[in-house]
């Protein structure tokens, strides 16, 4: 289990939870990444600034980490067309589910939202079925 890193995983989870809490208490908004990013496509007055700052933090934090501690070694074994289709399906699923795993799975479950709990269960089931099909039935 060379990739088992419980301390860094717990710290990362705590930081994600803290960012969700700060956004909710400070701005009254739910930290669903698809909603935050989607709101930039048609921003309302006073909405763009916090959305850009939140997304800049999402992008900047790993870059800052890489500068301090070095970049982790990442290998992706999928082709670019596969990644593109996967990204489109995730985007479609986020719209269909009225939110993404961050909005439902982190912020929604923390608020004990039944709708978010059901959505997260369905996300996880869909992911498990997809992995099973692609790895075991489709020969991936």
Distance between CA atoms of residues 75 and 115, nearest Å: 35
Domain annotation covers residue 83 = yes
User: Torsions phi, psi of 101, nearest 5?
Assistant: -65, -30
Q: Which two tokens stand for residue 77?
A: 């074994």
- The model carries a pTM of 0.72
Domain annotation covers residue 1 = no
pLDDT tens profile 49-76? 999 998 999 899 889 989 998 888 888 8
Question: What is the number of structural domains in the chain?
Answer: 1
For 86, the domain range is: 6-137
> Please, which pLDDT band fits residue 114 given cuts at 50, 70 and 90?
very high
Distance between CA atoms of residues 125 and 140, nearest Å: 19
Distances (CA, A) of 120 to 18, 35, 62, 67, 99: 20, 16, 25, 33, 10
């Amino acid at each position: 289990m060379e990739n088992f890193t419980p301390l860094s995983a717990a710290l990362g989870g705590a930081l994600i939870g803290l960012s969700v809490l700060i956004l909710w208490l400070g701005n009254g908004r739910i930290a669903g990444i698809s909603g935050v990013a989607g709101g930039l496509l048609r921003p309302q007055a006073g909405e763009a600034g916090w959305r850009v700052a939140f997304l800049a933090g999402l992008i900047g934090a790993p870059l800052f980490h890489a500068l301090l501690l070095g970049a982790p070694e990442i290998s992706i074994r999928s082709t670019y067309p596969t990644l593109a289709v996967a990204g489109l399906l995730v985007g479609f699923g986020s719209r269909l589910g009225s939110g993404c795993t961050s909005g439902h799975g982190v912020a929604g479950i923390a608020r004990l939202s039944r709708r978010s709990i059901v959505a997260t269960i369905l996300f996880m089931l869909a992911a498990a079925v997809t992995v099973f099909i692609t790895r075991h039935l489709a020969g991936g």
